[in-house]
């Protein structure tokens, strides 16, 4: 009962000032520097009631009933001077356990008061705590809310209460002493007693402890899928109950302090077994560094924890109440390097003991409670796992087992949560449901319908759960019935419970299926073929050779474009369909034994027009008969049996001069089932439309629910799904059995000719069981014919290694659809050419086998060289197009070495081929060129000539691919030059191709579009230069027309990576456009692709087209003739033009490469 007088004093100190003025007076003692100090404070119920009053503090020895006389110890009132306030703060700091906290909180109130949003401080920012407090006190006199905050701060820090004039402290004499607070008037005279307290330094006010703190967790909401609330993530909420002894001293306290001690530290000190002494707590706290983010002990609260209601033990322990909370702790607050207080959030698994203690009026803790061990837990739920699929699984019986048929169950395959994810998983709960709606209805019941638990497997992406425990679906109870599965992930948490759960994954169905596969489907493939036909057109016509009287024969020969000296056979073939690409003709002559010997076998293409004429030097003589066999061949290589005509000399004619036979070829498009003679599919029609490959399927019904069609391009290609159908197919009846039919088509076909495409079918029943993959058939595709190369003349045959002839073979070809090229070489006089390839292309021999034309494909092997039926070709192949050795075209080249030591004359052609081994899909052969390997080393006086070093022996200038000195009269050179500013507006490039001899030019327009010549010029086409068919033979030349101009781009400084793209610049040029005028009497040339300029206009400093400085080839000319390239050009680009000449059959005969032109 020794504390009773103090308690009574406390309650007696509540004195009514006026009707609304109640003043509470409290006191206590504390030791400062070994000297007892008394601390008394008084606080009105309303802060403004006593703000400006003056108070006198009196004391006397003994208790309130002693006979001692009260002596005034001092006077207190509201302070306004910063100097006085500074003294008050320094005095109060002797009692305050946290004087730095007082300064920090004064600074905070000052900043809140003076710093508005986006505004500068209202007062200087370099004030100390006393000046800031003076400013706050001044502001609070008109701001009741601010004044209340100040009194609250004063209860926590004695210096602030002293500055407010509502507290007093001084060193206390020994013994019991009673203090009295009196109100003074303006003359410092006593007006009335406001409060009285009795203090004993030897028996200070003892504040009892609260009960052990209780952790308050958030309750999950009704039917929530999360048993633990994410609001409890890395934090703890606390409350505690107040026993009766704490309630009896509660009036002498001001709030609570919560102390947080590391688990290891608390247990090492034994604080987990008994409550620590307050002094021990303060001593350990004082040893901590306030800047440490991981202290052993800390006061978790910055300000006193004030409670609005004291709880009983039952109330504090009622876990159904998650709303009553005294204090929440979410991290360690410490000083940052810049002096700010910052928060270090907790990590999962940190463990602390929490202690609570009531504070006395000086901020010192009373008796400390026992500790509560709390583990900080990660409560953020992980993401739900994802079920990949649920599939019916069959487990075979153990080997040697008797009477077992194996087991069938549902296997759930799911994707585990990644380990590097912050909210990972430790295990997974598996649930089975009858309907997806059940998941929503029972989401809050963690155990409802849970059928399994799987531990997370580190490092694995997927995991599986086999549902074959008690109550699991089986083929007896759940065949073809759908069940649903979900998963929940159990999150990683230091709490070690299973409350941190993800939401349910999306429900995924599973059905136990019958694993018996359906029978393989059957079906067929329908292809398109343009089937050619050929037949004789009327009877043969014969013209008699009557010697000197040959008028009728001469007229017949002239009408057919034949030389008057021709004698023999003329075959004319007319095509009635553009699908017909060529005709193959075989001529057989009857022998003495009545057998027929083939003397001619060759194919002729329809290059232009629909009629081809083949003159052959075979005459009907005596009783010898001639048999003709003609085949029509479509663009896709299809050919029919031959049409035959046997010729016999008519009895009425003595000597046949000309025999004429006509054939008519046509083509019919038909859709035919693949098989037998129908062994290919034509991809495109003549009009460019695509013919799809179509097919049918026939399979058992009604359990089939899906069919699929796959294709494989080339034998080593991958299977690709091209079409499928799902659902219940329409059923029909055939042959008394229920069947279902599927129809499919493939219209996206490979563009490469010669490709073989194989088609496969597969069906699936209602249980998704697949049938065997069935081959329906393989279809060789006949596409558009491969392009025809243009082979240029060989410039030079040089002496290579070991003095072997070496030359560069160059050709141009569109590379689309071309796999590689075959070089066809024949040797004059027969024999196999001894040719090998050197860098950059290695030519490998290709085994060509002459095909029997009666029963084989005429394109299977090339029997004769183009235009040379007397020569047999030998084949070599290049490397693949786009390889390092060949490049991507359209210019291609190969260096060939002739190993034969004897001089040879080689006839060479090139053709494009498709993929695969020979014989294979091949295009038409190029023009044939002749290369002579006979060269000798020069001699002087019979001895080998000495080597004359360069440049002692200068070479003539080179123009194009031939030296200038090598050109004969009116042979060239063919030069491509840029058009100048004054040149034609419709052509950026001009190609010098002819001349107007002196004396024939009448007038030439400045634009070059119109030229008048003398009528004595003859046919204007003769003005074009001629070209020698054999380079070494300058005496034999051929006209330039008919020809077509092509060009391709070459790398240049502006475009170093330019890719060649062969384009056609002109149509077929086979004549000039001209007319004869009577006034004036001239032959006027006006052609859209030709321009003619006077020589002076294109030489010297010309603005039309700048020819080289020296033009000896124009010395005897009045004007130069140019072919226009009307295509636009790119500035800075470099081009090369090709003049492609055709013979009278429309076949390519020569390719003339012009020197490159720079724009």
Looking up tokens 């069935």 gives: 774
**Residue 937 pLDDT > 80, yes or no?**
no
333 beta partners:
343
Cβ-based neighbour number of residue 87 at 10 Å: 16
526-670 shares its CATH topology with 690-781: no
pLDDT number for residue 849: 35
3-state secondary structure 114-178: HCCCCCCCCCCCCCCHHHHHHHHHHHHCCCHHHHHHHHHHHHHCHHHHHHCCCEEEEECCCCCEE
Q: What whole-number distance in Å separates Cα of residue 646 and Cα of residue 982?
A: 65
* Range name among 213-227, 617-631, 1083-1097 with the lowest pLDDT average: 213-227
Tens of pLDDT, residue by residue over 288-301, are 999 999 999 999 99
Tens of pLDDT, residue by residue over 94-146, are 998 888 888 888 988 888 888 754 454 444 456 788 999 999 999 988 888 99
Q: What tokens were used for 84?
A: 């006085």
Q: What whole-number distance in Å separates Cα of residue 42 and Cα of residue 450?
A: 65
Tens of pLDDT, residue by residue over 55-72, are 999 999 999 899 889 999
Strands 656-673 and 568-575: parallel
Q: What whole-number distance in Å separates Cα of residue 1045 and Cα of residue 1069?
A: 9
* Region for residue 842 given its phi and psi (left: phi exceeds 0; alpha: psi -120 to 50; beta: otherwise): beta
pLDDT number for residue 1030: 60
CB distance 680 to 529 below 8 Å: yes
Q: What whole-number distance in Å separates Cα of residue 812 and Cα of residue 821?
A: 11
| Domain edges within the chain | 4-199, 223-375, 386-395+406-511, 526-670, 690-781, 790-939, 962-1158
- Among candidate residues 204, 191, 93, the one with its CA nearest the CA of residue 181: 191
Phi, psi dihedral angles at 88 (to 5 degrees): -65, -40
The residue-averaged pLDDT of 776-804 equals 80
CB distance 1049 to 1059 below 8 Å: yes
**Residue 788 pLDDT > 50, yes or no?**
yes
* Range name among 10-14, 379-383, 557-561, 994-998 with the lowest pLDDT average: 10-14
Phi, psi dihedral angles at 759 (to 5 degrees): -115, 140
The residue-averaged pLDDT of 907-926 equals 77
Question: Across 289-298, 514-523, 915-924, 982-991, which has the greatest mean pLDDT?
Answer: 289-298
pLDDT number for residue 376: 93
pLDDT number for residue 437: 93
Question: Across 419-423, 1030-1034, 1143-1147, 1148-1152, which has the greatest mean pLDDT?
Answer: 1148-1152
* Region for residue 338 given its phi and psi (left: phi exceeds 0; alpha: psi -120 to 50; beta: otherwise): alpha
CB distance 492 to 347 below 8 Å: no
Tens of pLDDT, residue by residue over 670-689, are 888 998 778 888 888 777 78
- CATH second-level architecture of 386-395+406-511? Sandwich (2.60)
Average model confidence (pLDDT) across the chain:
83
Higher pLDDT, 697 or 1033: 697
The residue-averaged pLDDT of 933-961 equals 39
- Among candidate residues 360, 370, 369, the one with its CA nearest the CA of residue 207: 360
DSSP H helical ranges for 560-632: none
Q: Which pTM value belongs to this model?
A: 0.47
Which band of pLDDT confidence, cut at 50, 70 and 90, is reported for residue 2? very low
Q: What tokens were used for 760?
A: 């496969």
Cα-based angle 149, 150, 155 (whole degrees, multiple of 5) = 100
Q: How far is CA 549 from CA 552, 553, 554, in A?
A: 8, 9, 9
CB distance 79 to 138 below 8 Å: no
Superfamily name and number for 790-939:
Immunoglobulins (2.60.40.10)
Strands 1148-1153 and 1117-1125: unpaired
Q: How far is CA 133 from CA 82, 155, 1134, in A?
A: 8, 15, 88
Helix axes 82-93, 99-114, angle to 10 degrees: 140
Which band of pLDDT confidence, cut at 50, 70 and 90, is reported for residue 864? low
Q: What whole-number distance in Å separates Cα of residue 798 and Cα of residue 439?
A: 88
CB distance 1074 to 1020 below 8 Å: yes
The class that CATH gives domain 690-781 is mainly beta
pLDDT number for residue 463: 95
pLDDT number for residue 939: 31
Tens of pLDDT, residue by residue over 325-339, are 999 999 999 999 988
The residue-averaged pLDDT of 1093-1121 equals 84
Instruction: Decide: helix, strand or coil at residue 580.
Output: strand
pLDDT number for residue 472: 92
8 CB-near residues (< 8 Å, 6+ apart): none
CB distance 442 to 222 below 8 Å: no
**Residue 5 pLDDT > 50, yes or no?**
no
**Residue 600 pLDDT > 90, yes or no?**
no
pLDDT number for residue 33: 86
Q: For the range 1129-1132, what are the long-range contacts, defined as Cβ-Cβ under 8 Å and sequence gap of 24 or more?
A: 1129/988, 1129/989, 1129/1159, 1130/1055, 1130/1159, 1131/1054, 1131/1159, 1132/1052, 1132/1053, 1132/1054, 1132/1055, 1132/1159
**Residue 1034 pLDDT > 70, yes or no?**
no
Q: What whole-number distance in Å separates Cα of residue 931 and Cα of residue 793?
A: 8
Instruction: Decide: helix, strand or coil at residue 791.
Output: strand
- CATH number, span 526-670: 2.60.40.10
Q: What whole-number distance in Å separates Cα of residue 51 and Cα of residue 31?
A: 29
CA dihedral 413, 417, 418, 419 (to 10 degrees): -120
DSSP H helical ranges for 168-270: 244-249, 263-268
Q: Give Cα 697 to chain centroid, integer Å.
A: 38
CB distance 877 to 846 below 8 Å: yes
- Among candidate residues 550, 570, 674, 666, the one with its CA nearest the CA of residue 612: 570
CB distance 366 to 358 below 8 Å: yes
Peptide bond into 840 cis (omega under 30): yes
Q: How many CA atoms lie within 13 A of 778 on its CB side?
A: 9
CA dihedral 418, 421, 422, 423 (to 10 degrees): -40
Q: What whole-number distance in Å separates Cα of residue 930 and Cα of residue 927?
A: 10
For residue 350, the 8-state DSSP code is -
Q: What tokens were used for 532?
A: 């050619």
Tens of pLDDT, residue by residue over 429-481, are 999 999 999 998 998 889 999 999 999 999 999 999 999 988 899 888 888 88
**Residue 989 pLDDT > 70, yes or no?**
yes
Q: What whole-number distance in Å separates Cα of residue 266 and Cα of residue 330?
A: 20
Looking up tokens 């429900």 gives: 507
CB distance 471 to 463 below 8 Å: no
Q: What whole-number distance in Å separates Cα of residue 1013 and Cα of residue 997?
A: 10
**Residue 993 pLDDT > 50, yes or no?**
yes
- Among candidate residues 368, 418, 691, 677, the one with its CA nearest the CA of residue 528: 691
CA torsion through residues 1144, 1147, 1150, 1154, sign = positive
Higher pLDDT, 969 or 10: 969
């Amino acid at each position: 009962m020794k504390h009773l007088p103090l308690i009574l004093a406390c309650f007696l100190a509540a004195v009514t000032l006026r009707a609304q003025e109640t003043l509470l007076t409290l006191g206590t003692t504390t030791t400062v520097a070994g000297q007892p100090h008394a601390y008394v404070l008084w606080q009105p119920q309303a802060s403004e009631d006593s703000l400006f009053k003056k108070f006198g503090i009196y004391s006397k020895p003994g208790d309130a009933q002693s006979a001692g006389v009260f002596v005034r110890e001092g006077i207190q009132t509201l302070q306004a001077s910063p100097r006085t306030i500074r003294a008050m703060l320094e005095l109060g700091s002797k009692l305050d356990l946290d004087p730095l906290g007082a300064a920090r909180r004064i600074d905070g109130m000052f900043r809140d008061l003076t710093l508005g949003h986006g505004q500068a401080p209202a007062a200087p920012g370099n004030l100390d705590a006393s000046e800031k407090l003076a400013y706050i006190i001044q502001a609070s006199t008109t701001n009741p809310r601010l004044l209340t905050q100040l009194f609250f701060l004063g209860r926590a820090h004695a210096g602030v209460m002293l500055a407010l004039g509502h507290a007093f402290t001084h060193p206390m004499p020994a013994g019991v002493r009673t203090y009295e607070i009196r109100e003074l008037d303006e003359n410092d005279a006593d007006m009335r007693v406001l409060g009285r307290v009795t203090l004993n330094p030897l028996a200070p006010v003892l504040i009892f402890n609260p009960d052990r703190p209780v952790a308050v967790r958030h309750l999950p909401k009704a039917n929530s899928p999360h048993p633990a609330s994410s609001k409890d993530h890395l934090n703890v909420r606390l409350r505690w109950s107040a026993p009766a002894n704490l309630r009896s001293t509660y009036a002498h306290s001001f709030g609570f302090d919560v102390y947080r001690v590391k688990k290891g530290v608390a247990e090492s000190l034994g604080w987990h077994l008994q409550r620590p002494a307050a002094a021990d707590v303060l001593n350990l706290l004082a040893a901590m560094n306030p800047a440490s983010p991981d202290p052993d002990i800390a006061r978790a609260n910055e300000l006193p924890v004030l409670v609005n209601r004291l709880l009983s033990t039952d109330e504090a322990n009622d876990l159904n109440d998650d709303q009553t909370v005294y204090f929440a702790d979410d991290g360690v607050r410490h000083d940052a390097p810049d002096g700010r207080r910052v928060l270090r959030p907790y990590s999962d698994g940190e463990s602390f003991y929490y202690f609570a203690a009531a504070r006395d009026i000086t901020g010192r803790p009373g008796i400390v409670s026992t500790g509560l061990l709390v583990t900080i837990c990660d409560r953020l739920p992980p993401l739900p796992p994802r079920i990949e699929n649920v599939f019916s699984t069959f487990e075979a019986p153990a080997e040697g087992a008797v009477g077992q048929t194996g087991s069938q169950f549902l296997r759930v395959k799911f994707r585990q949560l990644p380990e590097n994810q912050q909210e990972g998983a430790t295990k997974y709960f598996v649930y089975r449901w009858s309907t997806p709606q059940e998941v929503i209805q029972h989401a809050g019941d963690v155990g409802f319908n849970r059928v399994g638990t799987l531990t997370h497997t580190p490092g694995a992406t997927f995991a599986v759960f086999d549902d074959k425990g008690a109550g699991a679906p089986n083929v007896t109870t759940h065949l073809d019935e759908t069940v649903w599965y979900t998963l929940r992930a159990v999150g990683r948490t230091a709490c070690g419970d299973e409350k941190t759960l993800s939401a349910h994954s999306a429900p995924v169905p599973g059905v136990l299926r019958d694993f018996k596969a359906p029978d393989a489907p059957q079906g067929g493939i329908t292809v398109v073929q343009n089937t050619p036909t050929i037949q004789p057109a009327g009877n043969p016509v014969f013209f008699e050779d009557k010697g000197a009287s040959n008028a009728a024969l001469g007229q017949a020969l002239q009408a057919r474009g034949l030389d008057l000296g021709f004698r023999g056979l003329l075959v004319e073939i007319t095509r009635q369909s553009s699908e017909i690409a060529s005709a193959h003709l075989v001529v057989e002559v009857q022998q003495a034994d009545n057998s027929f010997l083939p003397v001619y076998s060759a194919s002729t293409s329809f290059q232009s027009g629909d009629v081809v004429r083949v003159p052959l030097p075979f005459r009907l003589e005596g009783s010898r008969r001639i048999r003709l066999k003609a085949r029509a061949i479509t663009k896709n290589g299809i050919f029919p049996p031959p049409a035959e005509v046997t010729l016999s000399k008519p009895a009425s004619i003595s000597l046949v001069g000309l025999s004429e036979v006509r054939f008519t070829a046509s083509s019919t498009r038909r859709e035919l089932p693949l098989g037998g003679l129908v062994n290919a599919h034509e991809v495109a029609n003549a009009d460019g439309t695509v013919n799809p490959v179509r097919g049918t399927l026939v399979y058992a019904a009604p359990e089939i629910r899906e069919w699929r069609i796959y294709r494989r391009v080339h034998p080593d290609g991958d299977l690709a799904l091209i079409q499928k159908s799902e659902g219940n197919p329409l059923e029909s009846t055939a042959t008394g059995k229920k069947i279902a039919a599927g129809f499919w088509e493939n219209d996206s076909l490979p563009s490469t000719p010669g490709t073989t495409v194989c088609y496969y079918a597969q069906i699936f029943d209602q249980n998704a069981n697949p049938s065997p993959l069935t081959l329906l058939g393989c279809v060789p595709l006949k596409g558009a014919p491969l392009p025809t190369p243009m082979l240029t003349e060989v410039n030079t045959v040089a002496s290579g290694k070991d003095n072997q002839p070496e030359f560069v073979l160059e050709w141009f070809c569109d590379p689309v659809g071309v796999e590689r090229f075959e070089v066809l070489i024949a040797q004059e006089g027969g024999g196999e050419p001894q040719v090998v390839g050197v860098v950059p292309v290695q030519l490998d021999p290709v085994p060509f086998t002459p095909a029997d034309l009666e029963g084989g494909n005429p394109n299977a092997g090339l029997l004769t060289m183009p235009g040379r039926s007397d020569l047999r070709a030998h084949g070599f192949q290049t490397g693949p197009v786009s390889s390092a050795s060949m490049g991507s075209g359209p210019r291609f080249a190969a260096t060939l070495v002739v190993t034969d030591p004897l001089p040879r004359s080689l006839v060479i052609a090139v053709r494009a081929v498709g993929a695969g081994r020979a014989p294979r899909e091949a295009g038409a052969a190029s023009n044939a060129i002749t290369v002579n390997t006979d060269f000798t080393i020069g001699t002087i006086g019979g001895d080998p000539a000495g080597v004359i070093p360069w440049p002692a022996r200068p070479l003539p200038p080179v123009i194009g691919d031939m030296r200038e000195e090598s050109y004969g009269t009116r042979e060239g050179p063919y030069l491509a030059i840029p058009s100048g500013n004054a040149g034609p507006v419709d052509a950026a490039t001009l190609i010098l191709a002819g001349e107007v001899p002196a004396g024939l030019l009448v007038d030439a327009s400045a634009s070059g579009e119109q030229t008048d010549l003398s009528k004595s010029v003859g046919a204007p086409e003769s003005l074009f230069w001629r070209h020698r068919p054999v380079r070494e033979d300058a005496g034999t030349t051929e006209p330039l027309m008919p020809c077509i101009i092509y060009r391709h781009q070459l790398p240049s400084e502006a475009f170093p990576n330019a890719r060649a793209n062969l384009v056609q610049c002109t149509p077929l040029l086979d004549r000039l456009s001209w007319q004869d005028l009577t006034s004036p009497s001239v032959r006027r040339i006006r052609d859209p692709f030709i321009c003619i300029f006077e020589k002076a206009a294109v030489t010297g400093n010309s603005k039309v087209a700048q020819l080289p400085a020296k033009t000896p080839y124009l010395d005897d000319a009045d004007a130069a003739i140019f072919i226009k390239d009307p295509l636009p050009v790119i500035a800075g680009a470099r081009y090369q033009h090709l003049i492609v000449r055709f013979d009278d059959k429309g076949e390519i005969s020569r390719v003339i490469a012009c020197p490159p032109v720079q724009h």
